[in-house]
A and B are shown apart, each in its own frame.
Chain A
Amino acid sequence: MLRKICKVNLIQNNLINSQYVIFRHLSAKAELNEAAESQEKKKTKKPKKALTDMRFKYPEFLPQPDNRLRNPVLERIMRKDMLDRRTQINIPEFYVGSILKLTISDPHSQGKTNSFVGICIQRDRTGLYSKFALRNVIDHQGIEVMYDLYDPAILKIEVLKLEKRLDDKLIYLKDALPEYSTIDVNMEPEILAEGGNIPVNDTVVKMKPFPWMQKWERQGLKGVEDLDKHLNLWRKQQKVKHDSPWDKYDLMKEYRKTITEEEQSEIFSEIFNRINKINEQHKQKAKAARRTISKPQNIG
């Protein structure tokens, strides 16, 4: 037993001398065959751009990226149910920052509908759990409502103004001056040309003085004015302390938060045909509805 250990030790000592490179397990056969095979293998087809671009329009069809909670069978059923719901209601393309009008049937006022106009300040979660929040200031009172996107009580979702903002979440509008989140309730829809790029609204928001809901200065917001004039010395020091400029180099942290290109194209190619068919049906319905409402003619 001891002899064996000594032998191993000697081999190891020799190995330690060559720190990084190892010249061990020398076998005569080189990797010639493998190299030849790899050259023969043609590169797999790149996924189409039209499919992967759908991720901006339909982000809720992508599953949440944590691999521990995912299951392919469940995701497929969920996607089918989402499409089933979309046959009944037109869920249009919208982003954080665009202005929506939403009508919903209310159990407390039966026989009537309830509508709310507001700016979309965040979109959250995925699948049938996906939510979005609308914000408006009515009678000097800020109001925010969180809706489930696939709630069957929702009757209609209209986009009054389709645009993006500089940030992914506009929750800071809570602490901004109220003029940035007041929207006219009787606003008329602005129609964009089809196929064009979605405009980015680059307004820079002014904030109210303290107290704030969150520490906005630490979040690296683009759509907010320079916040240093609000901060005292201690808070400025804390901002520098909690800053993490190395985060953008963390490749795997980035990777674990996303769904890969191959998976995305697989998911969107599954729903591509059906969702286009559903969208066309809704377009035709809207056209038919427009025809019926004729302009009142001037008499005399």
Chain B
Amino acid sequence: MLLSRAFKSLLNQPVINDIRYTQVCFHRFRSVPKLRIPEWRFRVERKIKDDNLTSENQKFIKEVVERDFGKQVIHKGVETYESKTLLKVPEIEPKTWKKGTIRCGVIAKKLGHYPLWKKDGTRICTTVLQIVDNHVIKYIPPNEFEPKERRPLKKYDRKGCILVGAESVDPNILTANYMGMFKGSGVMPTKHIFRFVVDDVAALPPGTPLNVSHFRVGDHVDVRGKTVHRGFQGVVKRWGFKGGPATHGNTKTHRRPGSLSSGVKSRIWKGKKMPGDMGNSWRILKGLKIWRINTKTNTMWVSGYSIAGNPGDLVYVYDTILPLRQPKEPLPLPTFLGDESALPEDIYEDSIHKFNEPSIIYEPEK
């Protein structure tokens, strides 16, 4: 008895260093879908630790970076490093564009919405895209290009690939593997990188800058972006179901999907619309017209408000693949090769009312 009592009293004593508390659940909430890096690309940013560098050494490293890659500058409205180490780009021969040839695309940033007025007085909704200091890093010819997709797709047959980088960045942040991709190119390491599958005719040597003059006013483009991540959503928000009535004795079925399947089938069809993770997926808007181009800030005005992503997100711009919106005049192949500085600052589509033109007056029909 005594022993058991003593044992009980021991048990009742508060344990001083209770290690049971260590099992704390740190991932209480549902985790965000993992960012899937493509197989051809390495991890960009290295894990930054506190290196305990002295202030003199930090200054020294900064100076070496400036010597090798140039100083920090603002180039056409984008914060980058001045591309000091760029190789001299060999002269590119202009080629004739035929219908169906695929050119290189560009990496752009979605800036925001913008209203424009036509000459007949109607207002159009546009989105402004800024091309963020793009440079060609590498061209992979068709015989070497072997994409590691699940099965070889027909669209990659006899096609090359261009790697394009955007926004130069302090190389101290980046991993060694990622830096290796820029080794032969002579381009400063960039923050963003993307691949464009092109025809062999549209090949570009490494180091060529891609500006907004790559496109023309009046042509159509496709814009690919990642939609806003809205998390786990119900069926009303995700798929636009009607939900149930608010009143009339309704209990607990205001935003529910209702029945899932018929009794005859007695199972759920594949692809049934259900609650789940919404957004954070790639979407392409096709056939958007270019209304205006600003060569000074590398921006272009594209029709529509519904381009995927928030303002400040990256999007990828291609020539359109829609058959009825193909350009009537041949596009510049491989890119615009003329003098950039000779272009005017603002280029408008013909039907757009310029802001420094006099007000609109409707003349009577004769």
Contact = CB atoms under 8 A, between A and B. Distances in A.
Interface of A: 2, 5-6, 9, 68-69, 71, 73-74, 77-78, 81-82, 84-85, 87-89, 105-107, 110-111, 128-129, 148, 150-155
A148 B124 CA distance: 13
Interface stretch (B25-33, B200-208, B245-253, B353-361): B353-361
A155 B359 contact: yes
A154 B364 contact: no
B363 interface: yes
B181 to A, nearest CB: 28
A77 B297 contact: yes
A73 B77 contact: yes
B113 to A, nearest CB: 8
B121 interface: yes
Q: Rank and list the top 3 A-B pairs by shortest CB-CB distance, nearest first.
A: A111-B364, A84-B355, A84-B356
A85 B294 contact: no
Contact of A111 (B22, B115, B120, B362): B362
B25 to A, nearest CB: 18
Interface string B127-152: 01010000000000000000000000
B326 interface: no
Contacts of B357: 88, 152
Interface in B6-64: 17, 19, 22
B114 A78 contact: yes
A150 B357 CA distance: 12
Nearest to A111: B364
B310 interface: yes
A77 B121 contact: no
A154 B311 contact: no
A81 B112 contact: no
Given A73-B299, A77-B294, A110-B363, A151 B117 contact: yes
B183 interface: no
Nearest to B118: A152
B163 interface: no
Given A89-B359, A152-B355, A153-B117, 13 more contacts: A6-B17, A71-B111, A73-B77, A73-B130, A77-B299, A81-B355, A88-B359, A107-B121, A110-B364, A148-B115, A152-B121, A153-B360, A155-B359
Contacts of B22: 5
B228 to A, nearest CB: 11
B360 A105 contact: yes
B315 to A, nearest CB: 14
Nearest to A8: B17
Majority SS at the chain A contact face: helix
A152 B123 CA distance: 10
Nearest to B121: A153
B312 interface: yes
B322 to A, nearest CB: 28
B365 interface: yes
A6 B21 CA distance: 12
Contact of A88 (B19, B128, B311, B356): B356
Contacts of B312: 68, 71
Nearest to B312: A71
A73 B101 CA distance: 34
Interface string B328-366: 000000000000000000000000011111111111110
B358 A88 contact: yes
A152 B356 contact: no
21 contacts: A5-B19, A68-B310, A68-B311, A71-B312, A73-B111, A73-B299, A74-B114, A77-B294, A77-B299, A85-B355, A105-B362, A106-B362, A110-B362, A110-B363, A129-B115, A148-B115, A151-B121, A152-B353, A152-B359, A153-B117, A153-B359
A40 to B, nearest CB: 19
A129 B116 CA distance: 10
Contacts of A9: 17
A153 B112 CA distance: 24
B54 to A, nearest CB: 15
B108 to A, nearest CB: 12
Contact of A154 (B19, B297, B310, B359): B359
Contacts of A105: 121, 359-362
Contacts of B365: 110
A2 B19 contact: yes
B115 A128 contact: yes
Contacts of B123: 148, 151
A87 B359 CA distance: 11
A111 B363 contact: yes
A64 to B, nearest CB: 10
B117 A155 contact: no
B112 A71 contact: yes
B58 to A, nearest CB: 18
Contacts of A71: 111-112, 311-312
B152 to A, nearest CB: 41
Contacts of B121: 105, 107, 151-153
Contacts of A106: 362
Nearest to B353: A152
